[in-house]
Amino acid sequence: MTAYIVRRLFYLVPIVFGVCLITFLLFNVVTTGDAIAKQRLGQHANQEQIDAYKKTHGYDKPIFVRFFTSIYDLITFNFGRSEVTHQKITSMIWDGMWPSLSLMLPAFIFTVMTGITFALFSALYRNTWIDRTIVVISIIGMSVSFLAYIIIGQYVLAYQLKYFPVAGYEWGFGVFKFLILPGLIYVLASLGRRVRFFRTVMLDEINQDYVRTARAKGLNQNVILFKHVLKNALIPIITQIVVTLPFLFMGSLLLEDFYGIPGLGAMALNAVNGNDFAIIRALTFIGAVMYVIANLVGDICYAFVDPRVELR
């Protein structure tokens, strides 16, 4: 297994290189140092100041030199400073990661647990009113736009009924009241999709011969569901969960934006809007690394839940 993990970690090299190349090209070929300097220095800047900026920031160097410097910086984890705010990117990511995680992690766990429970019931009582109610509610939940949940939730629950703060964040235990509403919205908006997917997976399993055999043998319903059906349905569920893991760190773009949560999602959005190449580069790098690691964790989990899977 160790050899497998090491080999998979080596996959990081081409993936990160490719991702960095694409981001670099997008930010350095489409726009030039002159335009970026003008954006940074403002409308009063003249050519002399623009040239000085390009020189101090290395925009006067050949493009391949800049690319390899950029890759070297990433490998040595030297993310540098934001080109717009001049803040240290490592600190920005560290500070932004916790609000994103504090919002996303509990909401995600709750969604997955609830989603699996509903899916199990739905599959177990398929074609009954229980199944139909769950499916209809799930489809309605999926059909409403995420932005609608955010705006209506904020206006009705926070502003009109005053159950939650409209927006904001607080470090420490005070954060709880700020996270309930965005967390609830995340759950509402994503539960339907998850229930539908988990239900399909469960139905595949519940129709298997071994379930019929287990029932024929008179096995308890809970044992059938939790010991056999759930365990065998875990592979696709794990696959779906692991691809979501990097996004828990990277945060939710819209939720953070509207609810004033200072997480990485909002940071990424601002960096894109402000052409902040240094931040985009760092976030892309971290995203790529986390994606590979999450997939690796997924593979390891497969081996645990399914003895037929071998990691070689």
Binding residues for another protein, rule: CB under 8 A, are 30-32, 34-36, 38-50, 52-53, 55-57, 81, 84-88, 92, 95-96, 121, 125, 128-130, 151, 154-155, 158-171, 174, 177-178, 221, 257-260, 262, 266-267, 270, 275
42 dihedral zone (left: phi>0; alpha: psi -120 to 50; beta): left
- What's the full length of the chain, in residues? 312
Q: Which is nearer to another protein, 84 or 300 (CB)?
A: 84
Closest by Cα among 295, 193, 191 to 238: 295
**What's the min distance (Å) between Cβ of 26 and another protein?**
11
Q: Which is nearer to another protein, 95 or 204 (CB)?
A: 95
**What's the min distance (Å) between Cβ of 265 and another protein?**
11
Q: Which is nearer to another protein, 44 or 308 (CB)?
A: 44
**What's the min distance (Å) between Cβ of 38 and another protein?**
5
311 dihedral zone (left: phi>0; alpha: psi -120 to 50; beta): beta
**What's the min distance (Å) between Cβ of 171 and another protein?**
7
Q: How far apart are CA 230 and CA 208, in angstroms?
A: 13
88 dihedral zone (left: phi>0; alpha: psi -120 to 50; beta): beta
Q: Which is nearer to another protein, 71 or 158 (CB)?
A: 158
Residue 80 has φ and ψ, to the nearest 5°, of 75, -150
SS3 88: strand
Q: Which is nearer to another protein, 2 or 160 (CB)?
A: 160
**What's the min distance (Å) between Cβ of 68 and another protein?**
17
